[in-house]
Structure 1
Amino acid sequence: MYNILLIIVLYFLIHQSFATMRVENITVTQGENVRFHCQFPSDISFNENIIQWKKIRSSEDNILISINGKVSRKYEKTYQTILADRSSSFDVLHVTKEDSTTYICQTFETQTILCQYNLVVLIKPEAPSLTVNKENIEEYQAVTLTCSSLNGNPPPQYTWYRNSVLVTSLDEQVITTNNNSIYTFNVTRFDNNVLYECQIWNQALTIPLRIEQYLHVKYRPYVNILDEATIFSSEKNLIRKIIGIEQQQFNLTCHYDANPSPTSIYWLTNGTTIVSREKLVYIPRLRSEQSGTYTCVVENSISKVNQSVYLDVQYPPRVRSISSRIRVNCSDSVVLRCLVDSNPSPYKIVWLKNNTEIFRDYQLADLYLTQVERNHSGVYTCVVYNRFHNNQTSNSSHAIELIVQSRPIIETTYSKIAAEIGQSVMLTCRVIGLPKPNIIWKYNEQ
């Protein structure tokens, strides 16, 4: 065993009389025979000294096996010695694990150690076993894997593998003794269906012995919402915002990872209405009123989990006015107002008069006219532009007819008209004004 060195040191402290000696380490497989051959120094001979062979034991008294080539009767089937004038051989027959120790050849008179042999009997360890400390394993719990093997000599080395990859840095997680290795760690969902493997090896083996064990870990649902048709997404207030375009189709898919499998899955809009009991929410043609928070709820025997996204349905501007025709008196002020519904907000608003641009702004949808005159009359058109997140531009418009009313003004006057008797005379009265004036002709104020 590996306590041999300590045994030898202790032995030397007790038996201080020793000469320069031969020390040899020998390994042999269980069941084989091994021979130690000790050549005496020149001042030692069989004729002048008594030669002993001893077996050193750590916890018990040392065993005296032979004296001058004669083995005690109780050890004849296990040990044999041959003694010559200048050397001695010592055989251990059919070695077993108990034969792993230190053997010395020494003189009886002075207890001088002539030769020392440190014998290690190599024994294949038994096939390992691998156990898990619990059956129902849940995420974040501590799990202990115990790999055990008996009767190996020297004690086997243990190594751990995770999905065929060597697990390193295990000093704080593994406790190893001669007969087992105990690996303790906290599991996550990524340990589910993972193959853990224990390998053992010592010098008696040509290839390591191995044993495998799959872990089965239960965990709550992990939910992720994928949107297949969106053109933009962002994180806002911890809820992901996604963009859809009105009149286009739209898909939301609830991807989940759960063990055991979910017992229910459904979709909510704005936290209340169930819109689907499947993984997929399919909207063939988006409408603006379908903007809102969509929540996928997944439940299994461990927990209920949900994840939400905010769907922002974008659409072209919608423009209208309170009235399509406005009448106003001359010298008054008037506001031409466009009522705009747009998502996203407009980036440009243009006013046209009779198809000619007269004003533009980036936010203001009202056109203010003060001290209007007759020439302000006309068709005013409000054109609103917005731009989707894919840079697609859209616009919409609405026309308002402005009528400026004014008092009647006679543009044609006649102070005198001359004509011969019998001729025809045409008198023309030209009048401007809105609304259209009534014209009355009088003769001599009658």
Structure 2
Amino acid sequence: MIWPGTREEQDKQQGREVARLEEDTSLEERMCQRPMVWETTRAQEVQAENVTVAEGGQAEINCRLHQYDGSIVVIQNPSRQTLFFNGTRALKDERFQLVEFTQKQVRIVLSNARLEDEGGYFCQLYTDDTHHQIAILTVLVPPENPLVEVKEQAVEGGEVELTCIVPRSRPAATLRWYRERTPLPGISSKQENGKVFSITNVLHFRVERKDHGSIVTCEANHPALRGQQKQTQYVLDVQYAPTVRIRPPPGVMREGDTLVLTCAINGNPPPTKIHWSRANDSVPERAVIQGDTLTIPSLSMLDNGTYSCQVENKHGRSSDQYVLVVYDPGAIVEAQTSVPYAIVGGILALLVFLVICVLIVMVWCSIRQKGSYLTHEASGLDEHGEAREAFLNGGDGHKRKEEFFI
């Protein structure tokens, strides 16, 4: 039903018509007409569907009509403000658009949904009586990428505290910690701020030098993300005392050669103090020092000595030494082999062990042979004695002399 006149006059006329339908009919008239109204409105049933939308998204509110006969249809928001009256806009909110008004369906589209839009939307049909259905609009607030904060600088051997924060979500988001795909236990808490929740998850764990550069991930899960996750990665910055190692030059150093020593440093933060020195003497004046590199040109035997590289950061200090031996150009120096000293020592020990075993076997064989000789000698004493006695006494003339050999 459309009334003539200006927009304001139409709104006023529509409002008066609604008021008349709601208030003018007395209770007695309604009671008398109840059976007839039931039969009539039964054919004009209104159906509405609940809707869920993410904040900032678009929602459709549908009111389904059955055998609509041209009666007045009014759509109201949760505050009971009329949005549309028989296809005519009643509330000046351009986010609501009437996209369909037929005898079977009234469809409204809400753009850029807000939390305050949440609630029940009334689909009302005015005949001799008022009938309505309510479409519940639920607005979800998905979380943004979590914020990861560290309480204080992580130091080797100490404990680090990481805090993951989602300041705004509805319903409350779920936060989890991972380290290289391995779950880590955290302590979660939430705080309600009006219709939204602020979620916090705190993680504690000990760190070592090897943990420097590892990635810890905070992951947020929420129904509005539809199976997706919001993640924030934090790269562990573990500070530790430095270590140092001097890289020696290859081969033998001779007079006239150039020595280049490099001090390999590992520390966090990187050491800013690097000091080269020589034990019991000063570094040659012609030496060139550039940070972690020491260069001595035109070597001579006077440069012999123990050179040291010392480094330091706020967590400690470290040093390494190199013994320089400069040879005469004509000197014959045994070539250095690439076989580690530990292997050479092992081989020598094995050879010594084998020699000892051979000696033991030889001694054992000698002792056994000597024992066998003494045993045979003892067993022949009686026979030898009897033969000697017969020889001394003369014996029978026909008997020949017997000889015994042992």
Per the TM superposition, whether the score is higher than 0.5 is no
Greater strand content: 1
TM bucket by the smaller chain?
0.3 to 0.5
Per the normalisation by structure 1, the TM-score is: 0.40
Per the normalisation by structure 2, the TM-score is: 0.43
Greater helix content: 2
